[in-house]
Amino acid sequence: MSQYIIDEIQPTAWRLRIRDEATGKTEEVALRPGEPWKVRVGAARKAAPPDAKPPKADAKPPKAEPEPRPTEAASTPTEPPPKDLRLALEAMSAGDARDPWWVPAPLTGPALPHPLRVAMTVNCQGAPADPAVVAAVRQAGAWLAEAGYAVEEVEPPSLAEAHELWKLIANDEARRFMWGAIEQFGDAGVRRSFGWMLEDSPVLDHSAHLRAFAKRSTLLRRWQLFMERYPLVLGPVSGEPPFPWGWDVESEATMARVMRAQESQFAVPVLGLPAVSVPTGLAGGLPMGVQLIGPRFREDLVFEAAEVIEAHCPPMTPIDPR
């Protein structure tokens, strides 16, 4: 009997790779934008015994056993819905001795007092984000409030500090272990943008590296204390609407603007907090969204709030190139 598990998800390429645990054989499944994802997770198939004889030519075919029903979930080209993300998280959270960072954390935590408090921020880099982004965040906050969440406009611990910390830790690691391969195999565009990113970050000596990780502990402690009162944080996923194609490779100035606007996308990973971006609709023909951040190992809280927002936003279809 074989077990099929999700081995790799490529949402931008609309492809999914599944792996047979028994044989190690992989199979790629194409996903069509606008159509439901049909992914069989953990489906079992019976294999014929090695000594089985082929059926006679005049023999009636055996009655076919019903195939295990695949898991079906509607998706959009912009972001897999929370229920799809729950499914993927469940598959990826299984323990494996080859993963030194795995912990047996439950996927659903204890119930928290209601109404659940949500800290809402419309800022990016310490100032209000683009008006379209601010409107999207406030709209999402209103939807959560309608659903019974206690939404308050209050600033969480500094995302800008965490963003700077990401540049120290991640960029220094990338400079040491990735830059050589990028120089050798990357195209001109990625070499330019990656080079600009590294130029914006200092080379760390041993003491500076230790201080950076000590700073991470300090920031994470602040966030954990804050989240005792506000278990969820709602804010921009980017401080500006989607940028023109190629801005990260156009110039050093445009690359710096992209990095500044997407502060939360760098800050959250360095702190190790669960977060999800949720579409909120269109503004000026561009897809908009917000980000929800939760406490460590409380993806369930993030998913529940994301489902509330998603219920108010109709599925979006691919944008025609202009």
Domain boundaries of the chain, sorted by first residue:
1-45+72-96+103-108, 117-311
Residue 95, classed as helix, strand or coil, is coil
Alpha-carbon span 201 to 169, nearest angstrom: 9
What per-residue confidence (pLDDT) applies to 29?
A: 55
What per-residue confidence (pLDDT) applies to 222?
A: 97
**Quick one: tokens of 232?**
């969820």
Residue 160, classed as helix, strand or coil, is helix
Q: Burial level of 278, CB count in 10 A (0-12/13-18/19+)?
A: buried
DSSP 51: T
Architecture of the 117-311 domain: Alpha-Beta Complex (3.90)
What per-residue confidence (pLDDT) applies to 321?
A: 59
What per-residue confidence (pLDDT) applies to 120?
A: 98
Alpha-carbon span 92 to 11, nearest angstrom: 15
Q: Please say whether the beta carbons of 75 and 313 come within 8 A.
A: no
What per-residue confidence (pLDDT) applies to 90?
A: 87
Per-residue pLDDT of the chain (322 residues; tens, 9 = 90+): 444 444 444 444 445 555 555 666 666 655 444 433 333 333 333 333 444 444 444 444 444 433 333 332 322 234 567 778 888 888 888 888 999 989 999 999 999 999 999 999 999 988 899 999 999 999 999 999 999 999 999 999 999 999 999 989 998 999 999 999 999 999 999 999 999 989 888 899 999 999 999 999 999 999 999 999 999 999 999 999 998 888 889 899 999 899 899 999 999 999 999 999 999 998 988 899 999 999 999 999 999 999 999 999 877 666 565 5
**Tally of helices (H runs) and strands (E runs) in the chain:** 10, 13
What per-residue confidence (pLDDT) applies to 293?
A: 97
pTM of the model: 0.73
